[in-house]
Structure 1
Amino acid sequence: MATVRRHSHCLESVVTTVKFSSLPLTPALLDNIASLGYTELTPIQAESLPLILDGNDVIAQAKTGSGKTACFGIGLLSRLDLTDFNVQAMVVCPTRELADQVCNELRKLARFTQNIKVLALCGGTPARPQAESLAHGVHIVVGTPGRLQEHLRKRHLRLDNLNTLVLDEADRMLDMGFEEAVSEVISYAPKQRQTLLFSATFADPIRELSRKFQNNPLTVSIENNHQDNAIEQRFFQIDKNKRSNALGYLLAFYRPESTVIFCNTKKDCHDVANGLEGNGFSVQSLHGDLEQRDRDQVLVRFANKSCSILVATDVAARGLDIKELQAVINYELPWDPEIYVHRIGRTGRAGNTGLALSLCTPQELPRVKAIEDYQKFSAQWDEVAPFQAGREQRLEPPMITLWIDGGRKDKIRPGDILGALTGEKGILGSEVGKIDIFDNHAYVAIKRASIDSALGCLRTGKIKGRNFNVRKSQWG
């Protein structure tokens, strides 16, 4: 069920199959879309895109993997005047990583249309080349709030011709403290424009942001009821002082290869991670106090399967998109059933099955009732048995991460690392996992059985003709 709301008036419609070819788009853009293999619209696209193409301001509830980038991307591309090399569309993102993803998607959508210029404006890279690119003319900019501020203040970036403004993952931008920066960036934009706001939740701060910057917006919300899909939900009633022991039992009984455990507070996040680590589990924590570099390291190791368990708060997990996540565990249920649905929706994606396991004390039973009402289903209850930590319960991650003291600034590419590992007397390419390259360092995941051979290859061999320091990651 998809609901489109405008002020207090509510329109409800059942999502039906809609093909891109039915939309009022130019033949060139339709050809681009078809070349990417897109035929039918996702639910968020089916509800939002017609409204966007009609020129409405839209506030849409959408998360990573829903097709939201193509949704606003097609909308802004449809309004471009290719003969005008002034900035006509701007997408504001909370992180450099998301901005890069959006840029790549926009370029793919526009790849068969000549002369469309898309530019990323993010921190962590020099500002001067960005200013030079702006001076030569750009149609679309995608950036983070701080770097956009910088270019606007220096008048490298001008928004006089802007017709479409997109705020992507707006809730995460607010969580990260970017509200003032976003407000300043928007202050440079013309009053007459289309403003599209995408957020995973519709909390009060998001509605306030919409009120300040949008004009009579239409609200689109796709309700995801998981009881009919690939996510198996189970609830476990426990005494308050048995919560940690019950968590150990769930991990030992179900033995998921990758698990995100959600806590409601940073303190619980820290305590749970320490307790699991003390019992021999492979675990890391993700919370709002982490520096960006530490956050990057945590996410790299979890995504490349060299750590099995990630303990996180809701705020820290914004934008988290881990492929093949097998289980989500609610150490404590959230107060808002919408947040519960958002949490468990991180598993069971792309045709995979997933587990959603929730611990609940008698005092928290009203939260379960709210979840039942929200999802229109009856909770399935199971029991937990006493847990005693032992080596037989530990599930070792299949991979170990190696840290390399060289990155983009050394012009290292994934192929250079793969070549150094699989050259003469090297390991098989099938033993090499995910490779992540940052400005000054890189990470590569290696199957556990091949880690010593991989270390030997990189320590005695060369990458791009140079020797780099290599070591096992801290949690490998």
Structure 2
Amino acid sequence: MSHEFKQLALRPELLDNLNSLGYQEMTDIQAACLPLALEGKDLIAQAKTGSGKTAAFALALLQRLNVERFRIQSLVLCPTRELADQVAKEIRRLARRVHNIKVLTLCGGMPIGPQIGSLEHGAHIVVGTPGRIQDHLRKGTLELGNIHSLVLDEADRMLDMGFADAISAILAECPGERQTQLYSATYPEGIEAISRQYQRDPQRITVSRTHSESNIAQQAYAVEGGEQEKIELSHHLLAKQQPSSCVIFCATKKQTVDIAQSLNEQGWYCLALHGDMEQRERDLSLLRFANGSATVLVATDVAARGLDVDTVELVINYDLPRDAEVYVHRIGRTGRAGRSGLAVSLVNDRQRRAMGDIEAYIGQDIEWAEPPRVEGMAWVDQRPEMITIGLDAGKKNKLRPGDILGALTGEAGIEGKYVGKINVLLFQSYVAVKRAVANKALKQLQAGKIKGRKIKVRKISRPNV
């Protein structure tokens, strides 16, 4: 079925411009979102970079805009300065035949003085990062009382970077009578919470499959020996699959420590997680695994309850759980957000009956596969993509994610695409950066000041066992 832009009730100048740009047919996300957005509906849409989502929300903003009313009428929030610049550029391109329109970018890592000057001259659309938007609201230099259109772009990434509180504070400053469009590549719990609180009867758009059990391949391996055979089998399985993230579930605290130590000695970057750890240690292990600076997490079921990671590629049931419902909960850690996942169970003779109970509970047979053996494998170097940097300051020091992001990306610093999750706790903060720029990031933070003062920083690069 044809989905042409000319079918939409857009202003003639917008349609003329789209035609001049060679935009004829809508992408899937545009065809799904634009008609609803043009009706003024709130949207929660699953869309990745490159899907055409920017044009989807930008055209709706521009259609509704009153250029003669020189007030800020639309706000687009983005996780990084690079994305904000890209979005603002696309909006200007789509609006080039709409006369006298002003689009302003407000991002951290840039001097705030010129931004204040630009705001004094007025604007129609503001595109910015949460931290810097909050700065302007505190200073009274930004007025959001005339907003009728709000967009949260890459909302899941903003939550990953620790901007949940900032987003809530900004949305509280906007009028209740407004259209809110929320675009996210995944649907973590935090996205659902924002939608429930700040959207009105949102239309949910998904153009690709989300998580279902059909995304998860399930296998069982027969184990004849004891613990050593299971550890070796886990090592071979990891070496064959090469996952960027894996959770190994086992029954006891001792097993988590023994397995993690053994795998670390063989070159895997592995963290243990069990109920006897202090809460601070548990939180840090979960944080480091979730931000991609550890490849393998070995955990008991009790300790893993707080685990919320969308990108687990492999789950290993080192021990089968007694309860079939727990099995379903475990394997549900993988295969999320439309991705495929693999769940493998190591089963000895005593657990055959438990395996049968699980198959009956889920209503399907689990494939019994030949255990993998990777030849010539003694030691691997499976360093994770990210490194965690710790800062000795947190919420009690008025530190915010935007302050850390600004310190990293400002003044010839690091591009935002190299910065991962930012977690600001009460007295400590943690930021994940790509391994390739970790040393530069460390030096950048050590050399500069955050909130006007020096903060002690350190690289957290060793496992916890």
Structure 2 length-normalised TM:
0.58
Distance 1:142-1:409 versus aligned 2 partners, 3 A rule: closer
Asked whether the 8 Å contact 2:266–2:378 carries over to 1, the reply is no
Q: Which of the numbers 174, 196, 221 marks the counterpart of 1:189?
A: 174
- Give me the whole-angstrom Cα distance separating, in 1, the residues matched to 2:70 and 2:333: 42
Q: Which of the numbers 335, 342, 347 marks the counterpart of 2:336?
A: 342
Q: Which of the numbers 226, 230, 235 marks the counterpart of 1:248?
A: 235
Asked whether the 8 Å contact 1:29–1:109 carries over to 2, the reply is no
RMSD: 5.6
Distance 1:280-1:80 versus aligned 2 partners, 3 A rule: same
Cα distance, 1:205 vs structure 2: 5.5
Cα distance, 1:252 vs structure 2: 2.8
1:111 maps to 2:97:
no
Unaligned runs of 5+ in 2: 273-281, 299-303, 318-326, 388-406, 416-435, 445-460
Distance 1:208-1:281 versus aligned 2 partners, 3 A rule: closer
- Give me the whole-angstrom Cα distance separating, in 2, the residues matched to 1:65 and 1:101: 12
- Cα distance per residue 1:147-202 (max 9 Å; x no partner): 32232122111112211112345456556665443332112111221012334555
SS in 1 for 2:61: helix
Distance 1:395-1:290 versus aligned 2 partners, 3 A rule: closer
Structure 1 length-normalised TM:
0.57
Cα distance, 1:143 vs structure 2: 3.5
Asked whether the 8 Å contact 1:409–1:439 carries over to 2, the reply is no
Q: How does 1:42-121 map to 2 (within 5 A)?
A: 42-62=27-47, 66-93=51-78, 96-97=79-80, 100-111=82-93, 113-114=95-96, 115-121=101-107
SS in 2 for 1:134: helix
Distance 1:142-1:238 versus aligned 2 partners, 3 A rule: farther
Q: Which of the numbers 117, 124, 137 marks the counterpart of 1:139?
A: 124
Cα distance, 1:278 vs structure 2: 1.9
Cα distance, 1:92 vs structure 2: 3.1
Q: Which of the numbers 176, 196, 216 marks the counterpart of 2:201?
A: 216
- Equivalent residue pairs, number: 371
Kindly indicate whether structure 1 or structure 2 has the higher relative contact order, using CA contacts under 8 Å at least 6 residues apart.
Answer: 2
Asked whether the 8 Å contact 1:224–1:341 carries over to 2, the reply is no
- The amino acid of 1:249's aligned partner reads H
Cα distance, 1:212 vs structure 2: 2.6
Query: 1:280 corresponds to which residue?
Result: 267
Query: 1:155 corresponds to which residue?
Result: 140
Query: 1:235 corresponds to which residue?
Result: 219
Cα distance, 1:101 vs structure 2: 1.7
Cα distance, 1:393 vs structure 2: 6.7
Query: 2:428 corresponds to which residue?
Result: none
- Give me the whole-angstrom Cα distance separating, in 2, the residues matched to 1:220 and 1:283: 37
- Give me the whole-angstrom Cα distance separating, in 2, the residues matched to 1:413 and 1:210: 32
Identity %: 30
Distance 1:86-1:196 versus aligned 2 partners, 3 A rule: same
SS in 1 for 2:3: coil
- Give me the whole-angstrom Cα distance separating, in 1, the residues matched to 2:2 and 2:257: 45
Query: 1:357 corresponds to which residue?
Result: 342
Asked whether the 8 Å contact 1:413–1:437 carries over to 2, the reply is no
Unaligned runs of 5+ in 1: 1-15, 321-326, 346-354, 415-433, 443-473
